[in-house]
Amino acid sequence: MLELINSVLSGMLVPLFICAVGIFYAVKLRFFHLTKPLSIIRGLKSENSNSGVSSAAAVGLALAGTLGVGNIVGVSSAIYLGGFGAVFWIWLSALLSMILKYAEIVIAMRHRRTDKSGIFLGNAMLYIKDILYSRGLNRLGSALAAVFAVGFVLCSLTMGSMLQANAVSEALSGVCDIPIIATGVALAILSLLVGSRGTSGIIKVTNFLVPIMSVGYAIISVIVIFLNIHKIGDAFYLIFKGAFDFRCVIGGVCGYTFTQAIRYGVMRGLVSNEAGCGTAPTAHAIAECKSPARQGTWGIFEVFVDTIILCTMTALCVILEYDAASRYGGSYMMMTVSAYSEKLGVFAEYFLCAAVACFGFATIICWLHYGMTAVGYLAGNRSYKSTFIFLYALCVFIGSCISSDISWQLADLSMGIMTVINLTVIAFAWREVRYETLIFLGMTKRKRQYK
């Protein structure tokens, strides 16, 4: 039954919602994320933070939930399923994701609160209530916010912990012969230790892991590309030549969502795209940034780094060494490993294994923060934290040791429901986003608040 529901929800409704709302926002904002690159670059300048979280630190937390296994092996799946032209459609899909992530961050920043200690708190649940309450739909607003929060908790316990931990344990076991149980125990203990330090501890770890592994992965990718520089023109020719082959269109669109899904450990072709699902605002809204639109530009930057840069690097490496990669067709991890090791030898195997472990753990603790936020919204007090952290660590251990079909299905279901609710609500709030965007671009002054 769950599989049937997911085939409709994730296979049809979610991609339609993403395309429709993404195009809607792009038109309403006059494609500013493409036509105003200098303004976006200026927006990435961090504002001074007195005691709170800087914009850069907040995006580091958000990137921990975005970067992951998908950047390493997800692109191989897109190429294998849809051909070289699939890469073009990955790029095109990313353009819609940019504007959706920008919009939901702007809305979350406008509707955030401060707790008793003066720390900012914002998430999709808050703006879902606010937006629907402002239209007299109080009961609907409360109900949808609660449903979203339940889905958020379920996602954290499946996609964020069990499925990601499973991907890490399989990688370490396959390449380094590390026992799966040992990996599970280590990940669970580390999750407990980091989670017990609260949001500040989680941010410190993600801001340490994400830049190091991202830069390291980019460096070895550049090396592989440089060693094949004489074939780089052919690679781009193959991408654009195959871009409008119908098989590549289907494979690319599915492949893009596939790359997003695999960062949680999902090895299937169902749609699971974080942009527009309402998760990233939980990380961005804690930033001590006065301008919602300025913080929103970091969301554009997040998609750019995740997809345009890192996924493109992976794609080029796989295409340039496709003769070696194709020997493992269907085994996407080995396709990527083979493409890199063809030029870099056994070093690439161990580095990619380490990258999977670090990106995976960063995703695990990022989703721990997301889960605690959602449970806090439902519980309304702080007494839940210790219990939830322990439960989360337990799910990490279980996920490391077993691969459960019901976990995949529950993860897909919860993410699909969250995305439909979130995109529906933010579509009503387009005036707020346009208003903040005009202020950011210097085209109007702040006079009033849209609700």
Residues in Cβ contact with 370 at an 8 Å cutoff, skipping those fewer than 6 apart: 65, 152, 155, 156, 160, 279, 282, 283
- What residues pair up with 114 in beta bridges, in sequence order? 120
- Give the containing element (helix H, strand E) for 384: none
Is 43 domain-assigned?
Answer: no
Alpha-carbon distance 377 to 420, whole Å?
20
Residue 257's pLDDT band, with cuts at 50, 70 and 90, is very low
pLDDT at 220: 92
| Nearest residue to 165 (alpha-carbon basis) of 72, 68, 75 | 68
What is the distance between the alpha carbons of residues 333 and 353, in angstroms, rounded to a whole number? Answer: 10
Q: Which residue has the higher pLDDT, 383 or 120?
A: 120
3-state SS track over 386-435: HHHHHHHHHHHHHHHHCCCHHHHHHHHHHHHHHHHHHHHHHHHCHHHHHH
At 102 the pLDDT is 94
pLDDT grade for 2, boundaries at 50, 70 and 90: low
The answer to whether 301 and 59 have CB atoms below 8 angstroms apart is: yes
Q: Which 3 state secondary structure label does DSSP give 114?
A: strand
Model pLDDT, residue 254: 53
Q: Is the pLDDT assigned to residue 445 strictly greater than 90? A: no
Q: What is the dihedral of CA 160, 161, 166, 168, to 10 degrees?
A: 80
Domain count, the chain: 1
Q: Is residue 174 domain-resident?
A: yes
Helix (H, G, I), strand (E, B) or coil at 178: coil
For the ranges 116-130, 205-219, 250-264, 395-409, the lowest mean pLDDT is seen at 250-264
CA pair distance 412, 290, nearest whole angstrom:
35
Q: What is the pLDDT of residues 17-37, one digit of tens each?
A: 888 898 999 999 989 988 888
DSSP assignment of 320-340 equals: HTHHHHGGGTT-HHHHHHHHH
Q: Judge whether 401 lies within some domain.
A: yes
Q: What is the DSSP letter of 380?
A: -
Instruction: Report if residue 447 sits inside a domain.
Output: no
* Whether the Cβ atoms of residue 449 and residue 38 lie closer than 8 Å to each other: no
Between 95 and 423, the higher pLDDT residue: 423
Average per-residue pLDDT in the chain? 81
- State the pLDDT at residue 405: 65
Better pLDDT: 173 or 99: 99
User: Is 330 among the domain residues?
Assistant: yes
pLDDT of residue 178: 86
| 91-120 average pLDDT score | 85
Is residue 177 in some structural domain?
yes
Confidence of residue 260 (pLDDT cuts 50, 70, 90): very low
Residue 262 pLDDT: 35
Domain extent at residue 287: 2-37+54-440
- Give the mean pLDDT of 112-141: 88
Res 261 pLDDT > 60: no
Q: In this structure, are residues 69 and 361 in contact, taking their beta carbons and an 8 Å threshold?
A: no
Contacts of 3 (CB under 8 A, 6+ apart): 409
| Encoded tokens for 87 | 């890469």
pLDDT band at 428 (very low <50, low <70, confident <90, very high): very high
Q: Helix %, strand %, coil % for the chain, to 5?
A: 80, 0, 20
Kindly indicate the confidence band of residue 125, based on its pLDDT and cuts at 50, 70 and 90.
Answer: very high
Give the pLDDT band (50/70/90) at residue 151.
very high
Average pLDDT over residues 400-406: 74
Distance CA 129, CA 200 (A): 27
Instruction: For residues 250 and 247, give the distance between their C-alpha atoms in angstroms, rounded to a whole number.
Output: 5
Residue 259 has a pLDDT of 44
Least confident of 113-117, 242-246, 366-370: 242-246
HSE-CB for 114 with a 13 A CA cutoff:
8
CB environment 323-356: b (16+ within 10 A), e (fewer): ebbbebeeebbbbbbbbbbbbbeeebbebbbbbb
User: If you average pLDDT over residues 235-259, what whole number do you get?
Assistant: 65
Residues composing the chain: 451
Instruction: Give bridge partners of residue 120 from the DSSP assignment.
Output: 114
Is 317 a residue whose pLDDT tops 90?
Answer: yes
For residue 115, tell me if it sits in a domain: yes
In a domain, 116, yes or no: yes
Q: Is the pTM of this model over 0.75?
A: yes
Q: Which residue did the predictor score with more confidence, 3 or 267?
A: 3
For residue range 279-314, list pLDDT tens digits in order.
888 888 888 888 899 999 988 888 888 888 888 898
CATH code at 418?
1.20.1740.10
pLDDT of 33-47, one tens digit each? 888 888 888 888 765
Residue 128 and residue 144 in contact, taking contact as beta carbons nearer than 8 Å: yes
Q: Which amino acid is at 238?
A: L
CA-CA distance, 162 to 394, in Å (whole number)? 9
Residue 307 contacts residue 97 (beta carbons within 8 Å)? yes
